[in-house]
């Protein structure tokens, strides 16, 4: 019987390995970049195919919980990140980067990481869809709240991308599930689809690393300091989210907390093209290193202090 913990153990090395390959071989990352939308759509499809249908129904029966989690992740955390960075005396361009990082929608890969953490993957996938669709409204709102220009946003383009990359693959998978296309055994079904999703995640990571290599070679110390700032922001976001939702069911709390540190930065790049200072764009690019290192870091933290991070998943919780 395939076991999801084995996938998680491999992911601890393989996902950062794919990121390292993209940094060391920028040509390979650049070649994979045009495939990114298709890879993300495939990741959504395989994640939905392996998810527990009962959990989807439970999420949709409690929309208030879903909306509360989405607003916390995409509105409260970005404002808090901007305030903390500004209060710490960070460059305004980096404070803006902190806000944009935490305003990005939940990445479609979050459902896979949540599954490996023993959380509610259906809640994570719903958070991804909601935060994608809410971005055209919340990003200009955040810009207004912190007195930044909100011009240049493309709400229709963002909504269309969310539909093509997230909603359509999810609906297609749900239609196939309704038609009975699945493996007979529920645990086997989840394990095999999660294995396939993990295989798709590797080239997705490679594509996301495009452009990082030259930056690390030209200004390594500056890049390291920015990466440390991003890591501090994400750890603070994880801790704040875990605390805010600690009274919820464990699977839901883990799902929201892991989702809070798994974001799709590429969509924010598209929405703010030509508007950002150079330092902000560098911060967004370097975030790939920290975002893909975060799941292995949380797994390591879980072994040291189970109360701080979610434990490794088991086949029963997938």
Assign residue 297 the CATH number of its domain: 1.20.1530.20
Q: What is the pLDDT, as a whole number, of residue 73?
A: 94
pLDDT of amino acid 4: 42
- pLDDT bucket at 174, cuts 50 / 70 / 90: confident
Residue-number span of the structural domain to which 94 is assigned: 4-309
> Is the pLDDT assigned to residue 12 strictly greater than 60?
no
The full DSSP string for 188-206 is HHHHHHHHHHHHHHHHHHH
In a domain, 315, yes or no: no
Instruction: Let me know if residue 83 belongs to a domain.
Output: yes
Domain-embedded: residue 108: yes
Is pLDDT above 80 for 67? yes
Res. 74: pLDDT tops 90: yes
Where does the pLDDT of residue 240 fall: very low under 50, low under 70, confident under 90, or very high at 90 and above? very high
Query: Which range (26-30, 108-112, 276-280, 294-298) has the least confidence?
Result: 294-298
pLDDT score for 77:
95
Mean pLDDT in residue range 182-207:
72
Confidence band of 36 (pLDDT split at 50, 70, 90): confident
Predicted confidence at residue 72, as pLDDT, reads 95
Q: Is the pLDDT of residue 162 over 80?
A: no
Higher pLDDT, 35 or 316: 35
Q: What pLDDT is attached to residue 76?
A: 94
Give the least confident one: 23-32, 49-58, 219-228: 49-58
Q: Which of 110 and 222 is assigned the larger pLDDT?
A: 222
Q: What percent of the chain has pLDDT over 70?
A: 73
| Within-domain flag for 54 | yes
pLDDT of residue 287: 86
Q: Tell me the average pLDDT across 95-103.
A: 90
Does the pLDDT value for residue 217 go beyond 80?
yes
Mean pLDDT (the chain, rounded): 75
Q: What is the mean pLDDT of residues 231-250?
A: 88
Q: Kindly state whether residue 37 falls inside one of the protein's structural domains.
A: yes
Residue 168's pLDDT band, with cuts at 50, 70 and 90, is confident
pLDDT of residue 48: 76
Question: For residue 301, what pLDDT is reported?
Answer: 52
Answer whether residue 303 shows pLDDT above 70. no
**For the purposes of burial, counting CB atoms within 10 Å of the CB of 63, is it exposed (0-12), middle (13-18) or buried (19 or more)?**
exposed
Asked if the structure places residue 318 within a domain, the reply is no
Q: Report yes or no on 314 lying in a domain.
A: no
pLDDT number for residue 75 = 93
pLDDT of residue 71: 93
pLDDT at 310 over 50: no
- Structural domain count of the chain: 1
- The pLDDT of residue 159 is 60
* 96 in any annotated domain: yes
Instruction: Choose the weakest-confidence range: 23-27, 154-158, 254-258.
Output: 154-158
- Above 50 in pLDDT, residue 307? no
């Amino acid at each position: 019987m395939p076991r999801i913990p084995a996938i998680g153990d491999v992911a601890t090395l393989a996902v950062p390995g794919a990121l390292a390959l993209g940094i060391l071989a920028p040509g390979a990352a650049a070649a994979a970049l045009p495939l990114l939308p298709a890879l993300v759509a495939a990741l959504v499809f395989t994640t939905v195919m392996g998810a527990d249908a009962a959990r989807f129904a439970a999420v949709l029966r409690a929309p208030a919980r879903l909306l509360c989690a989405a607003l916390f992740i995409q509105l409260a955390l970005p404002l808090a990140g901007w305030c903390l960075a500004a209060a710490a005396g960070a460059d305004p361009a980096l404070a803006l980067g902190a806000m944009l990082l935490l305003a990005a929608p939940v990445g479609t890969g979050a459902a896979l990481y949540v599954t490996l953490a023993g959380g509610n993957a259906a809640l994570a996938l719903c958070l991804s869809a909601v935060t994608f669709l809410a971005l055209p409204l919340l990003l200009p709102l955040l810009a207004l709240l912190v007195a930044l220009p909100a011009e240049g946003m493309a709400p229709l383009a963002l909504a269309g991308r969310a539909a093509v990359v997230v909603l359509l693959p999810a609906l297609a998978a749900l239609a196939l599930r309704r038609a009975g296309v699945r493996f007979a055994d529920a645990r086997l079904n989840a394990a095999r689809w999660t294995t396939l999703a993990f295989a798709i995640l590797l080239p997705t990571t490679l594509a996301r690393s495009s452009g990082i290599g030259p930056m690390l070679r030209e200004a390594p110390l500056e890049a390291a300091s920015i990466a440390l700032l991003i890591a501090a922001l994400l750890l603070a976001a994880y801790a704040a989210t875990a605390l805010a939702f600690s009274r919820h069911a464990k699977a839901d709390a883990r799902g929201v907390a892991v989702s809070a540190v798994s974001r799709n930065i590429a969509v924010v790049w598209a929405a703010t093209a030509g508007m950002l200072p150079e330092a902000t764009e560098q911060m967004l690019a370097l975030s790939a290193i920290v975002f893909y290192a975060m799941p292995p870091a949380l797994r390591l933290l879980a072994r040291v202090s189970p109360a701080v991070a979610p434990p490794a998943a088991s086949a029963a919780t997938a």
